[in-house]
Structure 1
Protein backbone atom coordinates (compact mmCIF):
# COMPACT_ATOMS: atom_id res chain seq x y z
CA UNK A 1 0.00 0.00 0.00
CA UNK A 2 1.50 3.32 -1.05
CA UNK A 3 1.30 6.29 1.29
CA UNK A 4 -0.27 9.40 -0.16
CA UNK A 5 1.57 12.62 0.57
CA UNK A 6 -0.34 15.89 0.41
CA UNK A 7 1.40 18.41 -1.77
CA UNK A 8 0.53 22.02 -2.50
CA UNK A 9 -1.04 22.72 -5.91
CA UNK A 10 1.31 23.34 -8.77
CA UNK A 11 2.62 26.89 -8.87
CA UNK A 12 1.99 27.52 -5.15
CA UNK A 13 4.60 27.44 -2.44
CA UNK A 14 3.93 25.90 0.96
CA UNK A 15 3.12 28.47 3.65
CA UNK A 16 6.13 29.84 5.50
CA UNK A 17 6.44 29.41 9.25
CA UNK A 18 6.69 33.21 9.51
CA UNK A 19 3.56 33.83 7.44
CA UNK A 20 0.60 35.47 9.14
CA UNK A 21 -2.17 33.06 10.17
CA UNK A 22 -5.15 32.77 7.86
CA UNK A 23 -8.09 35.01 8.66
CA UNK A 24 -11.47 33.60 9.75
CA UNK A 25 -14.12 33.50 7.05
CA UNK A 26 -16.19 36.15 8.81
CA UNK A 27 -13.33 38.68 9.02
CA UNK A 28 -12.94 40.96 6.04
CA UNK A 29 -9.62 41.65 4.39
CA UNK A 30 -7.88 44.81 5.63
CA UNK A 31 -7.90 47.80 3.36
CA UNK A 32 -4.74 49.50 2.14
CA UNK A 33 -5.53 52.62 4.15
CA UNK A 34 -6.03 50.57 7.31
CA UNK A 35 -2.73 48.75 6.90
CA UNK A 36 -0.91 52.03 6.20
CA UNK A 37 -2.54 53.70 9.19
CA UNK A 38 -1.55 50.88 11.53
CA UNK A 39 1.99 50.95 10.22
CA UNK A 40 2.19 54.72 10.74
CA UNK A 41 0.87 54.50 14.31
CA UNK A 42 3.29 51.70 15.19
CA UNK A 43 6.18 53.62 13.65
CA UNK A 44 5.35 56.75 15.65
CA UNK A 45 5.01 54.70 18.85
CA UNK A 46 8.41 53.08 18.28
CA UNK A 47 10.00 56.45 17.60
CA UNK A 48 8.45 57.91 20.74
CA UNK A 49 10.10 55.13 22.76
CA UNK A 50 13.42 54.82 20.94
CA UNK A 51 14.20 58.52 20.38
CA UNK A 52 14.69 59.38 24.09
CA UNK A 53 16.78 56.23 24.51
CA UNK A 54 18.88 57.24 21.50
CA UNK A 55 19.55 60.68 23.04
CA UNK A 56 20.52 59.15 26.39
CA UNK A 57 22.94 56.66 24.80
CA UNK A 58 24.50 59.19 22.40
CA UNK A 59 24.97 61.75 25.18
CA UNK A 60 26.65 59.16 27.39
CA UNK A 61 29.11 58.40 24.57
CA UNK A 62 29.86 62.06 23.74
CA UNK A 63 32.86 64.09 24.78
CA UNK A 64 32.61 67.12 27.04
CA UNK A 65 33.29 69.39 24.07
CA UNK A 66 30.47 67.87 22.00
CA UNK A 67 28.03 68.27 24.88
CA UNK A 68 29.05 71.91 25.38
CA UNK A 69 28.61 72.63 21.65
CA UNK A 70 25.15 71.01 21.69
CA UNK A 71 24.19 72.96 24.78
CA UNK A 72 23.12 69.82 26.64
CA UNK A 73 21.68 66.60 25.28
CA UNK A 74 23.26 65.35 22.05
CA UNK A 75 21.17 63.95 19.19
CA UNK A 76 23.85 63.57 16.50
CA UNK A 77 26.91 61.56 17.60
CA UNK A 78 30.26 63.33 17.23
CA UNK A 79 33.51 62.17 18.75
CA UNK A 80 32.29 58.94 20.37
CA UNK A 81 34.16 58.09 23.56
CA UNK A 82 33.73 55.56 26.37
CA UNK A 83 35.43 57.71 28.99
CA UNK A 84 32.29 58.01 31.12
CA UNK A 85 31.78 54.23 31.27
CA UNK A 86 35.46 53.57 31.87
CA UNK A 87 35.55 56.02 34.76
CA UNK A 88 32.31 54.69 36.26
CA UNK A 89 33.53 51.08 36.11
CA UNK A 90 37.04 51.80 37.33
CA UNK A 91 36.31 50.57 40.84
CA UNK A 92 34.57 53.56 42.43
CA UNK A 93 31.17 54.07 43.98
CA UNK A 94 29.21 53.20 40.83
CA UNK A 95 31.06 49.90 40.38
CA UNK A 96 30.37 48.95 43.97
CA UNK A 97 26.70 49.99 43.65
CA UNK A 98 26.33 47.92 40.46
CA UNK A 99 27.71 44.81 42.17
CA UNK A 100 25.39 45.41 45.14
CA UNK A 101 22.35 45.75 42.85
CA UNK A 102 23.25 42.57 40.97
CA UNK A 103 23.67 40.54 44.18
CA UNK A 104 20.46 41.90 45.71
CA UNK A 105 18.57 41.12 42.49
CA UNK A 106 19.89 37.55 42.28
CA UNK A 107 19.42 36.68 45.97
CA UNK A 108 16.11 38.50 46.28
CA UNK A 109 14.63 36.97 43.14
CA UNK A 110 15.67 33.47 44.20
CA UNK A 111 14.18 33.94 47.66
CA UNK A 112 10.96 35.51 46.37
CA UNK A 113 10.43 32.82 43.74
CA UNK A 114 11.04 30.04 46.26
CA UNK A 115 8.50 31.44 48.72
CA UNK A 116 5.97 32.30 46.00
CA UNK A 117 6.13 28.91 44.29
CA UNK A 118 5.78 26.99 47.55
CA UNK A 119 2.90 29.19 48.71
CA UNK A 120 1.12 29.06 45.33
CA UNK A 121 1.47 25.28 45.10
CA UNK A 122 0.06 24.82 48.59
CA UNK A 123 -2.89 27.09 47.83
CA UNK A 124 -3.54 25.32 44.52
CA UNK A 125 -4.20 22.01 46.29
CA UNK A 126 -7.91 22.29 47.06
CA UNK A 127 -8.72 20.71 50.40
CA UNK A 128 -5.29 21.28 51.96
CA UNK A 129 -5.12 22.33 55.62
CA UNK A 130 -6.38 25.90 56.07
CA UNK A 131 -6.46 26.45 52.31
CA UNK A 132 -9.38 28.89 52.25
CA UNK A 133 -8.30 30.87 55.32
CA UNK A 134 -4.74 31.29 54.13
CA UNK A 135 -6.00 32.43 50.73
CA UNK A 136 -8.33 35.01 52.28
CA UNK A 137 -5.55 36.22 54.58
CA UNK A 138 -3.19 36.75 51.65
CA UNK A 139 -5.82 38.52 49.58
CA UNK A 140 -6.60 40.84 52.49
CA UNK A 141 -3.03 42.16 52.39
CA UNK A 142 -3.66 43.40 48.85
CA UNK A 143 -6.22 45.89 50.17
CA UNK A 144 -5.02 46.63 53.70
CA UNK A 145 -1.49 47.39 54.90
CA UNK A 146 0.05 48.47 58.18
CA UNK A 147 1.57 51.60 56.68
CA UNK A 148 5.04 53.03 56.37
CA UNK A 149 5.75 53.89 60.01
CA UNK A 150 4.77 50.49 61.50
CA UNK A 151 6.78 48.76 58.76
CA UNK A 152 9.82 50.88 59.54
CA UNK A 153 9.46 50.22 63.27
CA UNK A 154 9.20 46.47 62.60
CA UNK A 155 12.34 46.48 60.46
CA UNK A 156 14.14 48.50 63.10
CA UNK A 157 13.03 46.21 65.93
CA UNK A 158 14.31 43.18 64.00
CA UNK A 159 17.74 44.79 63.73
CA UNK A 160 17.63 44.97 59.93
CA UNK A 161 18.40 48.69 59.66
CA UNK A 162 21.49 49.37 57.56
CA UNK A 163 21.40 45.74 56.42
CA UNK A 164 20.93 44.30 52.94
CA UNK A 165 18.14 42.09 54.29
CA UNK A 166 16.08 45.25 54.67
CA UNK A 167 16.12 45.54 50.88
CA UNK A 168 14.74 42.01 50.40
CA UNK A 169 12.47 40.92 53.24
CA UNK A 170 9.94 43.82 53.39
CA UNK A 171 9.03 43.35 49.71
CA UNK A 172 9.95 39.71 49.21
CA UNK A 173 6.49 38.42 48.28
CA UNK A 174 3.84 39.76 45.95
CA UNK A 175 0.36 38.38 46.52
CA UNK A 176 -0.57 39.15 42.92
CA UNK A 177 2.29 36.97 41.67
CA UNK A 178 1.24 34.19 44.04
CA UNK A 179 -2.32 34.28 42.70
CA UNK A 180 -1.07 34.12 39.11
CA UNK A 181 1.12 31.12 39.94
CA UNK A 182 -1.74 29.47 41.82
CA UNK A 183 -4.08 29.89 38.85
CA UNK A 184 -1.54 28.31 36.52
CA UNK A 185 -0.85 25.41 38.89
CA UNK A 186 -4.57 24.72 39.20
CA UNK A 187 -4.77 24.41 35.41
CA UNK A 188 -2.38 21.44 35.38
CA UNK A 189 -4.16 18.12 34.94
CA UNK A 190 -5.03 16.54 38.26
CA UNK A 191 -4.52 13.09 36.73
CA UNK A 192 -0.79 13.75 36.37
CA UNK A 193 -0.29 14.54 40.04
CA UNK A 194 -2.58 11.70 41.14
CA UNK A 195 -0.67 9.15 39.08
CA UNK A 196 2.63 10.41 40.48
CA UNK A 197 1.26 10.20 44.00
CA UNK A 198 0.14 6.59 43.38
CA UNK A 199 3.70 5.80 42.28
CA UNK A 200 4.96 7.05 45.63
CA UNK A 201 5.99 10.63 44.81
CA UNK A 202 5.65 13.22 47.55
CA UNK A 203 4.52 16.81 47.22
CA UNK A 204 8.01 18.25 46.75
CA UNK A 205 8.86 15.71 44.06
CA UNK A 206 5.58 16.37 42.27
CA UNK A 207 6.25 20.10 42.40
CA UNK A 208 9.85 19.79 41.18
CA UNK A 209 9.45 17.12 38.48
CA UNK A 210 5.91 17.67 37.20
CA UNK A 211 4.43 21.05 38.10
CA UNK A 212 7.45 23.29 37.56
CA UNK A 213 8.53 21.83 34.17
CA UNK A 214 4.97 22.38 32.91
CA UNK A 215 4.96 25.96 34.26
CA UNK A 216 8.09 27.36 32.61
CA UNK A 217 6.15 30.17 30.93
CA UNK A 218 4.57 31.60 34.06
CA UNK A 219 7.74 31.02 36.10
CA UNK A 220 9.77 33.01 33.55
CA UNK A 221 7.31 35.90 33.65
CA UNK A 222 7.09 36.05 37.46
CA UNK A 223 10.88 35.77 37.73
CA UNK A 224 11.20 38.77 35.44
CA UNK A 225 8.69 40.71 37.54
CA UNK A 226 10.63 40.06 40.73
CA UNK A 227 14.01 40.73 39.11
CA UNK A 228 12.90 44.05 37.64
CA UNK A 229 11.36 45.01 40.97
CA UNK A 230 14.58 44.37 42.90
CA UNK A 231 16.76 45.97 40.25
CA UNK A 232 14.65 49.14 40.08
CA UNK A 233 13.91 49.45 43.81
CA UNK A 234 15.31 52.51 45.55
CA UNK A 235 12.85 53.49 48.27
CA UNK A 236 13.77 50.76 50.78
CA UNK A 237 17.46 51.60 50.42
CA UNK A 238 16.85 55.30 51.02
CA UNK A 239 14.71 54.44 54.04
CA UNK A 240 16.70 51.70 55.76
CA UNK A 241 20.33 52.28 54.69
CA UNK A 242 22.51 54.97 56.23
CA UNK A 243 25.89 53.86 54.92
CA UNK A 244 26.55 55.38 51.48
CA UNK A 245 28.90 52.51 50.64
CA UNK A 246 25.93 50.10 50.77
CA UNK A 247 23.69 52.03 48.39
CA UNK A 248 22.54 50.17 45.23
CA UNK A 249 22.83 51.58 41.73
CA UNK A 250 19.39 53.19 41.62
CA UNK A 251 20.10 55.31 44.69
CA UNK A 252 23.46 56.40 43.28
CA UNK A 253 21.65 57.41 40.09
CA UNK A 254 19.15 59.47 42.10
CA UNK A 255 21.96 61.25 43.91
CA UNK A 256 23.67 61.95 40.60
CA UNK A 257 20.68 63.03 38.50
CA UNK A 258 18.37 64.75 41.00
CA UNK A 259 20.72 65.96 43.72
CA UNK A 260 23.62 66.65 41.34
CA UNK A 261 26.02 64.79 43.63
CA UNK A 262 28.92 63.34 41.63
CA UNK A 263 30.04 59.81 42.50
CA UNK A 264 33.03 59.50 44.77
CA UNK A 265 36.21 59.77 42.68
CA UNK A 266 34.63 61.60 39.73
CA UNK A 267 33.92 65.01 41.24
CA UNK A 268 37.40 66.32 40.48
CA UNK A 269 37.36 65.06 36.88
CA UNK A 270 34.02 66.79 36.30
CA UNK A 271 35.22 70.07 37.83
CA UNK A 272 38.36 70.17 35.67
CA UNK A 273 36.37 69.52 32.49
CA UNK A 274 37.97 66.16 31.74
CA UNK A 275 34.57 64.52 32.05
CA UNK A 276 31.10 65.90 31.45
CA UNK A 277 28.70 65.60 34.35
CA UNK A 278 25.81 65.14 31.90
CA UNK A 279 27.62 62.26 30.19
CA UNK A 280 28.12 60.59 33.56
CA UNK A 281 24.42 60.97 34.37
CA UNK A 282 23.38 59.45 31.05
CA UNK A 283 25.92 56.62 31.42
CA UNK A 284 24.53 55.69 34.82
CA UNK A 285 21.01 55.70 33.37
CA UNK A 286 22.12 53.39 30.56
CA UNK A 287 23.73 51.02 33.07
CA UNK A 288 20.50 50.97 35.07
CA UNK A 289 18.32 50.31 32.00
CA UNK A 290 20.57 47.82 30.20
CA UNK A 291 19.77 44.61 32.16
CA UNK A 292 16.01 45.09 31.80
CA UNK A 293 16.31 45.95 28.10
CA UNK A 294 18.42 42.86 27.45
CA UNK A 295 16.35 40.33 29.41
CA UNK A 296 12.84 41.49 28.47
CA UNK A 297 12.87 40.26 24.82
CA UNK A 298 13.80 36.73 25.92
CA UNK A 299 10.81 36.55 28.27
CA UNK A 300 8.38 38.41 26.02
CA UNK A 301 7.21 35.23 24.27
CA UNK A 302 6.05 33.80 27.62
CA UNK A 303 3.90 36.78 28.62
CA UNK A 304 0.71 35.75 26.83
CA UNK A 305 0.80 32.13 27.93
CA UNK A 306 2.09 32.78 31.41
CA UNK A 307 0.04 35.77 32.49
CA UNK A 308 -3.26 35.24 30.68
CA UNK A 309 -3.53 31.51 31.44
CA UNK A 310 -2.66 32.00 35.09
CA UNK A 311 -4.99 34.96 35.51
CA UNK A 312 -8.00 33.39 33.71
CA UNK A 313 -7.80 30.03 35.38
CA UNK A 314 -7.28 31.55 38.82
Structure 2
Protein backbone atom coordinates (compact mmCIF):
# COMPACT_ATOMS: atom_id res chain seq x y z
CA UNK A 1 0.00 0.00 0.00
CA UNK A 2 1.41 3.34 -1.11
CA UNK A 3 1.04 6.10 1.45
CA UNK A 4 0.09 9.59 0.42
CA UNK A 5 2.32 12.54 1.15
CA UNK A 6 0.03 13.83 3.90
CA UNK A 7 0.05 10.37 5.55
CA UNK A 8 3.85 10.27 5.47
CA UNK A 9 4.04 13.74 7.04
CA UNK A 10 1.61 12.63 9.72
CA UNK A 11 3.73 9.56 10.42
CA UNK A 12 6.84 11.72 10.78
CA UNK A 13 5.05 14.09 13.16
CA UNK A 14 3.91 11.17 15.31
CA UNK A 15 7.41 9.64 15.27
CA UNK A 16 9.02 12.95 16.28
CA UNK A 17 6.47 13.44 19.06
CA UNK A 18 7.11 9.92 20.38
CA UNK A 19 10.86 10.55 20.23
CA UNK A 20 10.47 13.76 22.25
CA UNK A 21 8.41 11.87 24.86
CA UNK A 22 11.12 9.20 25.09
CA UNK A 23 13.83 11.83 25.51
CA UNK A 24 11.78 13.65 28.15
CA UNK A 25 11.67 10.43 30.18
CA UNK A 26 15.18 9.18 29.41
CA UNK A 27 17.33 12.30 29.78
CA UNK A 28 16.60 12.89 33.50
CA UNK A 29 17.50 9.26 34.22
CA UNK A 30 20.78 9.58 32.29
CA UNK A 31 21.55 12.79 34.18
CA UNK A 32 20.99 11.15 37.55
CA UNK A 33 23.07 8.14 36.50
CA UNK A 34 25.91 10.40 35.36
CA UNK A 35 25.79 12.37 38.62
CA UNK A 36 25.89 9.18 40.67
CA UNK A 37 29.05 8.04 38.85
CA UNK A 38 30.87 11.39 38.88
CA UNK A 39 33.41 12.78 41.30
CA UNK A 40 32.18 15.27 43.87
CA UNK A 41 34.39 18.06 42.54
CA UNK A 42 32.63 18.07 39.17
CA UNK A 43 29.20 18.10 40.81
CA UNK A 44 30.14 21.10 42.91
CA UNK A 45 31.11 22.93 39.71
CA UNK A 46 27.85 21.75 38.06
CA UNK A 47 29.75 20.32 35.10
CA UNK A 48 27.92 16.97 34.84
CA UNK A 49 25.14 16.64 32.28
CA UNK A 50 24.65 13.26 30.55
CA UNK A 51 28.10 11.67 30.86
CA UNK A 52 29.93 11.06 34.15
CA UNK A 53 33.12 12.98 34.87
CA UNK A 54 35.82 11.60 37.11
CA UNK A 55 34.24 8.15 37.03
CA UNK A 56 34.02 6.52 40.46
CA UNK A 57 31.71 4.20 42.37
CA UNK A 58 32.23 5.65 45.85
CA UNK A 59 28.59 6.70 46.19
CA UNK A 60 27.31 3.21 45.39
CA UNK A 61 29.85 1.69 47.76
CA UNK A 62 28.69 3.97 50.56
CA UNK A 63 25.04 3.19 49.87
CA UNK A 64 25.53 -0.58 49.67
CA UNK A 65 27.72 -0.70 52.77
CA UNK A 66 25.24 1.28 54.85
CA UNK A 67 22.73 -1.07 56.45
CA UNK A 68 19.93 1.50 56.52
CA UNK A 69 19.88 1.71 52.73
CA UNK A 70 19.99 -2.04 52.10
CA UNK A 71 17.39 -2.74 54.80
CA UNK A 72 15.11 0.00 53.43
CA UNK A 73 15.34 -1.58 49.97
CA UNK A 74 14.68 -5.08 51.31
CA UNK A 75 11.81 -3.86 53.48
CA UNK A 76 10.25 -1.95 50.58
CA UNK A 77 10.51 -5.04 48.35
CA UNK A 78 8.75 -7.19 50.95
CA UNK A 79 6.17 -4.49 51.56
CA UNK A 80 5.52 -4.16 47.83
CA UNK A 81 5.01 -7.90 47.36
CA UNK A 82 2.67 -8.27 50.34
CA UNK A 83 0.75 -5.08 49.54
CA UNK A 84 0.34 -6.00 45.86
CA UNK A 85 -0.92 -9.52 46.61
CA UNK A 86 -3.36 -8.21 49.21
CA UNK A 87 -4.57 -5.42 46.93
CA UNK A 88 -5.13 -7.82 44.02
CA UNK A 89 -7.07 -10.18 46.29
CA UNK A 90 -9.27 -7.33 47.54
CA UNK A 91 -9.80 -5.96 44.02
CA UNK A 92 -10.86 -9.32 42.60
CA UNK A 93 -13.12 -10.06 45.57
CA UNK A 94 -14.79 -6.67 45.17
CA UNK A 95 -15.18 -6.74 41.39
CA UNK A 96 -16.28 -10.34 40.88
CA UNK A 97 -19.63 -10.25 42.79
CA UNK A 98 -20.62 -7.11 40.88
CA UNK A 99 -20.98 -9.04 37.61
CA UNK A 100 -23.92 -11.05 38.99
CA UNK A 101 -27.29 -9.55 38.16
CA UNK A 102 -28.95 -11.29 41.11
CA UNK A 103 -26.68 -9.58 43.66
CA UNK A 104 -28.99 -7.81 46.11
CA UNK A 105 -28.31 -4.10 46.43
CA UNK A 106 -25.96 -4.14 43.45
CA UNK A 107 -26.83 -0.60 42.33
CA UNK A 108 -26.46 0.79 45.85
CA UNK A 109 -23.13 -0.95 46.31
CA UNK A 110 -21.83 0.43 43.00
CA UNK A 111 -23.06 3.93 43.92
CA UNK A 112 -21.23 3.78 47.27
CA UNK A 113 -18.07 2.49 45.62
CA UNK A 114 -18.08 5.22 42.96
CA UNK A 115 -18.89 7.85 45.62
CA UNK A 116 -15.53 7.19 47.27
CA UNK A 117 -13.76 8.10 44.01
CA UNK A 118 -14.87 11.72 44.27
CA UNK A 119 -15.10 12.34 48.02
CA UNK A 120 -12.66 11.52 50.80
CA UNK A 121 -12.44 12.45 54.46
CA UNK A 122 -9.09 14.20 54.23
CA UNK A 123 -5.74 13.88 55.97
CA UNK A 124 -6.75 14.81 59.53
CA UNK A 125 -9.74 12.42 59.77
CA UNK A 126 -7.61 9.65 58.26
CA UNK A 127 -4.93 10.28 60.86
CA UNK A 128 -7.47 10.19 63.68
CA UNK A 129 -8.95 6.98 62.25
CA UNK A 130 -5.53 5.30 62.13
CA UNK A 131 -4.96 6.43 65.71
CA UNK A 132 -8.26 4.94 66.90
CA UNK A 133 -7.46 1.68 65.10
CA UNK A 134 -4.02 1.58 66.82
CA UNK A 135 -2.29 1.52 63.45
CA UNK A 136 0.04 4.47 64.02
CA UNK A 137 3.66 3.34 63.79
CA UNK A 138 2.40 -0.10 62.78
CA UNK A 139 3.63 -1.67 59.51
CA UNK A 140 0.03 -2.62 58.68
CA UNK A 141 -0.74 1.06 58.16
CA UNK A 142 1.33 0.85 54.96
CA UNK A 143 -0.82 -2.01 53.63
CA UNK A 144 -4.42 -1.82 54.80
CA UNK A 145 -5.59 1.79 54.12
CA UNK A 146 -4.51 1.77 50.47
CA UNK A 147 -5.28 -1.86 49.79
CA UNK A 148 -7.88 -1.18 47.11
CA UNK A 149 -8.41 1.31 44.30
CA UNK A 150 -11.95 1.99 43.14
CA UNK A 151 -10.73 2.80 39.65
CA UNK A 152 -8.96 -0.56 39.40
CA UNK A 153 -12.08 -2.33 40.70
CA UNK A 154 -14.07 -0.79 37.85
CA UNK A 155 -11.42 -1.89 35.34
CA UNK A 156 -11.47 -5.43 36.72
CA UNK A 157 -15.26 -5.53 36.67
CA UNK A 158 -15.31 -4.30 33.05
CA UNK A 159 -12.88 -7.05 32.05
CA UNK A 160 -14.99 -9.69 33.77
CA UNK A 161 -18.02 -8.43 31.86
CA UNK A 162 -16.11 -9.01 28.62
CA UNK A 163 -15.81 -12.74 29.31
CA UNK A 164 -18.72 -14.60 27.63
CA UNK A 165 -21.54 -15.54 30.01
CA UNK A 166 -21.80 -18.89 28.25
CA UNK A 167 -18.58 -20.03 29.95
CA UNK A 168 -19.97 -19.20 33.36
CA UNK A 169 -23.33 -20.77 32.61
CA UNK A 170 -21.79 -23.99 31.32
CA UNK A 171 -19.66 -24.27 34.46
CA UNK A 172 -22.70 -23.65 36.66
CA UNK A 173 -24.61 -26.39 34.82
CA UNK A 174 -21.77 -28.76 35.71
CA UNK A 175 -22.25 -27.89 39.37
CA UNK A 176 -19.50 -25.30 39.80
CA UNK A 177 -20.08 -22.67 42.49
CA UNK A 178 -19.14 -18.96 42.25
CA UNK A 179 -15.64 -19.44 43.71
CA UNK A 180 -14.88 -22.35 41.39
CA UNK A 181 -16.09 -20.33 38.40
CA UNK A 182 -13.81 -17.51 39.50
CA UNK A 183 -10.71 -19.66 39.95
CA UNK A 184 -11.21 -21.95 36.95
CA UNK A 185 -12.65 -19.57 34.34
CA UNK A 186 -12.38 -15.88 35.14
CA UNK A 187 -8.92 -15.66 36.66
CA UNK A 188 -7.14 -17.80 34.01
CA UNK A 189 -8.72 -15.66 31.27
CA UNK A 190 -7.85 -12.40 33.07
CA UNK A 191 -4.05 -12.63 32.97
CA UNK A 192 -3.63 -9.33 31.04
CA UNK A 193 -5.71 -7.21 33.42
CA UNK A 194 -4.32 -8.98 36.50
CA UNK A 195 -0.74 -8.31 35.41
CA UNK A 196 -1.52 -4.70 34.52
CA UNK A 197 -3.24 -3.90 37.80
CA UNK A 198 -0.58 -5.76 39.78
CA UNK A 199 2.05 -3.60 38.08
CA UNK A 200 0.12 -0.42 38.90
CA UNK A 201 -0.32 -1.48 42.52
CA UNK A 202 3.35 -2.45 42.83
CA UNK A 203 4.64 0.80 41.33
CA UNK A 204 2.29 2.81 43.53
CA UNK A 205 3.46 1.03 46.67
CA UNK A 206 7.14 1.15 45.69
CA UNK A 207 6.96 4.89 45.02
CA UNK A 208 4.76 5.63 48.03
CA UNK A 209 6.18 7.58 50.94
CA UNK A 210 3.46 9.96 52.12
CA UNK A 211 1.60 7.38 54.22
CA UNK A 212 4.84 6.42 55.96
CA UNK A 213 5.66 10.09 56.45
CA UNK A 214 2.26 10.68 58.06
CA UNK A 215 1.78 7.53 60.12
CA UNK A 216 5.25 6.11 60.86
CA UNK A 217 7.90 7.38 63.27
CA UNK A 218 9.97 4.21 63.60
CA UNK A 219 12.81 4.49 61.07
CA UNK A 220 13.01 0.70 60.96
CA UNK A 221 9.89 0.63 58.80
CA UNK A 222 10.70 3.57 56.56
CA UNK A 223 10.36 2.52 52.89
CA UNK A 224 13.15 3.41 50.51
CA UNK A 225 11.21 6.34 49.06
CA UNK A 226 10.81 8.00 52.47
CA UNK A 227 14.52 7.52 53.10
CA UNK A 228 15.14 9.08 49.70
CA UNK A 229 12.77 11.93 50.58
CA UNK A 230 14.81 12.64 53.71
CA UNK A 231 18.05 12.54 51.74
CA UNK A 232 16.83 14.90 49.02
CA UNK A 233 15.62 17.37 51.64
CA UNK A 234 18.73 17.10 53.80
CA UNK A 235 20.42 19.99 52.02
CA UNK A 236 18.19 22.40 53.93
CA UNK A 237 18.65 20.66 57.29
CA UNK A 238 22.04 20.27 58.97
CA UNK A 239 20.54 17.85 61.49
CA UNK A 240 19.13 15.52 58.83
CA UNK A 241 22.29 15.77 56.74
CA UNK A 242 24.38 14.66 59.72
CA UNK A 243 21.92 11.89 60.49
CA UNK A 244 22.15 10.55 56.94
CA UNK A 245 25.94 10.58 57.04
CA UNK A 246 26.79 13.37 54.57
CA UNK A 247 30.22 14.87 55.08
CA UNK A 248 30.57 17.30 52.18
CA UNK A 249 28.29 19.05 49.67
CA UNK A 250 29.79 17.21 46.70
CA UNK A 251 29.57 13.79 48.34
CA UNK A 252 26.05 14.66 49.42
CA UNK A 253 24.98 15.28 45.82
CA UNK A 254 26.65 12.07 44.63
CA UNK A 255 24.95 9.97 47.31
CA UNK A 256 21.62 11.57 46.51
CA UNK A 257 21.95 10.59 42.86
CA UNK A 258 23.14 7.08 43.72
CA UNK A 259 20.22 6.61 46.11
CA UNK A 260 17.76 7.72 43.43
CA UNK A 261 19.16 5.07 41.07
CA UNK A 262 19.22 2.58 43.93
CA UNK A 263 15.50 3.16 44.49
CA UNK A 264 14.48 3.33 40.83
CA UNK A 265 16.22 0.45 39.06
CA UNK A 266 14.54 -2.48 40.91
CA UNK A 267 11.01 -1.46 39.95
CA UNK A 268 12.12 -0.78 36.36
CA UNK A 269 13.32 -4.37 36.05
CA UNK A 270 9.75 -5.61 36.51
CA UNK A 271 8.45 -4.02 33.30
CA UNK A 272 10.14 -6.40 30.78
CA UNK A 273 8.60 -9.42 32.54
CA UNK A 274 5.08 -8.00 32.39
CA UNK A 275 5.29 -6.12 29.09
CA UNK A 276 3.23 -8.47 26.93
CA UNK A 277 0.47 -8.63 29.56
CA UNK A 278 0.71 -4.89 30.11
CA UNK A 279 0.15 -4.10 26.42
CA UNK A 280 -2.97 -6.28 26.39
CA UNK A 281 -4.22 -4.88 29.67
CA UNK A 282 -3.98 -1.20 28.81
CA UNK A 283 -6.09 -1.74 25.66
CA UNK A 284 -9.10 -2.90 27.68
CA UNK A 285 -12.15 -1.21 26.25
CA UNK A 286 -10.54 -0.45 22.89
CA UNK A 287 -12.75 -0.75 19.82
CA UNK A 288 -11.53 -2.72 16.82
CA UNK A 289 -11.75 -0.99 13.48
How many residues end up aligned between the 2 structures? 283
Whether 1:174 and 2:153 are equivalent positions in the alignment is: no
Of 173, 197, 202, which aligns to 2:177?
Answer: 202
- Displacement of 1:114 in angstroms is 0.3
Q: Alignment RMSD, CA only? A: 2.5
Consecutive unaligned residues of structure 2, counting only runs of 5 or more, are none
- Displacement of 1:172 in angstroms is 0.9
Match of 2:261 in 1: 286
Separation of aligned partners in 1, 2:60 and 2:19: 31
Is the 8 Å Cα contact of residues 98 and 248 (structure 1) preserved in structure 2? yes
Match of 1:214 in 2: 189
- Displacement of 1:52 in angstroms is 1.5
Match of 1:266 in 2: 245
Of 282, 285, 295, which aligns to 2:270?
Answer: 295
Whether 1:62 and 2:38 are equivalent positions in the alignment is: yes
Match of 2:15 in 1: 39
Moved more, 151-160 or 37-46: 37-46
- Displacement of 1:125 in angstroms is 1.7
Task: Provide the TM-score with structure 1 as the length reference.
Answer: 0.81
- Displacement of 1:310 in angstroms is 5.1
Is the 8 Å Cα contact of residues 56 and 282 (structure 1) preserved in structure 2? yes
Separation of aligned partners in 2, 1:219 and 1:249: 26
Separation of aligned partners in 1, 2:242 and 2:173: 61
Match of 2:75 in 1: 100
Separation of aligned partners in 1, 2:140 and 2:242: 24
Match of 1:249 in 2: 224
- Displacement of 1:265 in angstroms is 6.4
- Displacement of 1:244 in angstroms is 2.1
Separation of aligned partners in 2, 1:54 and 1:295: 19
Whether 1:52 and 2:28 are equivalent positions in the alignment is: yes
Is the 8 Å Cα contact of residues 115 and 173 (structure 1) preserved in structure 2? yes
Task: Provide the TM-score with structure 2 as the length reference.
Answer: 0.88
